[in-house]
Amino acid sequence: MKSTSHSFKFQAKNALKNVNLQNALARSKSHFIDHRRSAIDALPEFNALRHRARDIKAHTLEHLDVYLELFEKQVLASGGQVHWAVTAKDACDAVLEICKTAKAHSVVKGKSMVCEEIALNAALEQADIEVVETDLGEYIIQLAQEPPSHIIAPAVHKTREEVADLFRHHHGEKKHLGEIPDLVNEARAVLRSKFLAADVGITGANMLVAETGSTVMVTNEGNGDLTNTLPRVHIVVASIEKVVPTLEDCTTLLRLLARSATGQEMTSYTTLSTGPRRAKDVDGPEEFHVVLVDNGRSELLAGDFSEMLQCIRCGACLNHCPVYGAIGGHAYGWVYPGPMGSVLTSLFLGLKEAGDLPHASTLCGHCEEVCPMSIPLPKLLHQLRTQKPQTKWLIGLWAFFAKRPRLYHRFSSLVGKVGYIPFIGSWTKTRHMPIAEKETFMTTWNKK
């Protein structure tokens, strides 16, 4: 997916004026927040689980190479194949090669953020392979030719009426589908034939279990199970930080994930895939492939932002962020929106492309408070802000004056009168430059 993160301010302004988007955001926000609250209130050990989950992730990331190699060994032992992809292009090439070998013409897909990140759909379409998204939200935005606006609810910005119009346009039906169950049934009927015709099914993974070589996927629609069971070939595309050591660890994270994401105790479907179909299995794919995507994560692991790799993509930080709640996901311009997206996009694409995103936060701290992995998002956003060359330059300038009180006083008095500082006019337009006192607090104290 091409990034438009550099146009964040422009996109945010447009989002604020979009009435349909504002209505959709207001509706979804209270839904997610209320459900999460009730689910967490009903689980007294929630905080203990958070600590355990953080320890599991920290331990795994410290020994990532060991657990990834164990995962690979177990996938091979169960009859599957593992493909290592350093870049997004390597990952797309690996999937294309598997599709080519399988002589695939059509692919069904489950929801996967990493597939969005590597722009897999565009690569498949360029190779003349039909790709059909099967998660209802993803299907809607595929028809609308839009990117997801939320990591767990990709079409959250669409109203029911907009979806009805889309279906009428694309399904060639004359009838108007006004109610949500009618829309769901229609999508189900269209997608059923796509599942049956597909040569390859591609899914993401919420986790990879090293001790068994299993991939774990949670959904609420069952589309993931049809995607990985019906086609001849199943490809799992997963980023390397998804690995956890054991099934026990996996269940700890699952207990946090559903509650934090949708406020459910468990999602409707939790599917573990371990290798291709065995002789006595009644269904399943003939081939099972896992594409392990790095795409900048190894570099992240070694740097100051490695905590971001603990993210389990629950979306709670988006749902509680006042900025996301006002502008929605598209304004962020790439795959990952909200507080987690502002950090990840800046890290993956660089501050030249996404320099405004670390500022898309009030630093109120709500994101960290609700994050099941306690990722210090405000601290990371703040750290990114100070890495922007302009910010570094301004802080340097401020430090120069701060170390020279008389000069600082003269400068701030002048600015106070003029009400404007060159180069940061947009900041001073809405704020007053505080005028420094003539003497320090201690001098005044001693005098009095």
In angstroms, the CA 357 to CA 323 distance is: 11
Burial string for 151-188 (b: 16+ CB within 10 Å, else e) reads bbbbbbbbeeeebbebbeeeeeeeeebeeeeebeebbe
Residue 201, interface with ligand SF4 (CB under 6 A)?
no
Which CB atom, from 357 or from 371, has the smaller least distance to ligand SF4? 371
Task: Give the torsion through C-alpha atoms of 107, 110, 111, 116, to 10 deg.
Answer: -30
For 294-352, list the strands marked E by DSSP: none
CB nearer to ligand SF4: pick between 212 and 267 = 267
In the bound state with ligand SF4, the residue whose beta carbon lies nearer, of 191 and 309, is 309
Q: Which residue is listed with tokens 């995962």? A: 71
Q: Where are the alpha helices (DSSP H) in 262-308?
A: 297-301
Find the helix or strand (DSSP H, E) in which 409 lies: helix 405-418
Instruction: Indicate the residue among 29 and 234 with the shorter CB distance to ligand SF4.
Output: 29
Number of residues that bind ligand SF4 (CB under 6 A): 13
293 Cβ contact partners less than 8 Å away, ≥ 6 residues apart: 85, 88, 91, 114, 117, 118, 237, 238, 239, 240
Residues 6+ apart with CB under 8 A from 246: 209, 210, 211
Shortest distance (Å) from residue 348 CB to ligand SF4? 14
Binding to ligand SF4, residues 285-324 (CB under 6 A): 311-317
Q: How far is the CB of 127 from ligand SF4 (least distance, A)?
A: 32
371 sits near ligand SF4 (criterion: CB under 6 A): yes
**Which of 132, 153, 357, 375 lies at the binding interface for ligand SF4 (CB under 6 A)?**
375
Residue closer to ligand SF4 (CB basis): 191 or 216: 216
Shortest distance, position 18 Cβ to ligand SF4, whole Å: 24
Q: Which of 200, 311 has the CB closer to ligand SF4?
A: 311
Residue type, position 209, single letter? V
CB-side neighbour CA atoms (13 Å) of 155: 22
CB of 344 to ligand SF4, least distance (A): 9
Shortest Cβ distance from residue 32 to ligand SF4 (Å)?
Answer: 11
Which of these segments, 72-80, 86-94, 167-175, 371-379, binds ligand SF4 (CB under 6 A)? 371-379
| 317-356 residues near ligand SF4, rule: CB under 6 A | 317, 340
Nearer Cβ to ligand SF4, position 243 or 317? 317
With the C-alpha atoms ordered 195, 200, 206, 211, is the resulting torsion angle positive or negative?
positive
Q: Which residues bind ligand SF4 (CB under 6 A)?
A: 260, 311-317, 340, 371-373, 375
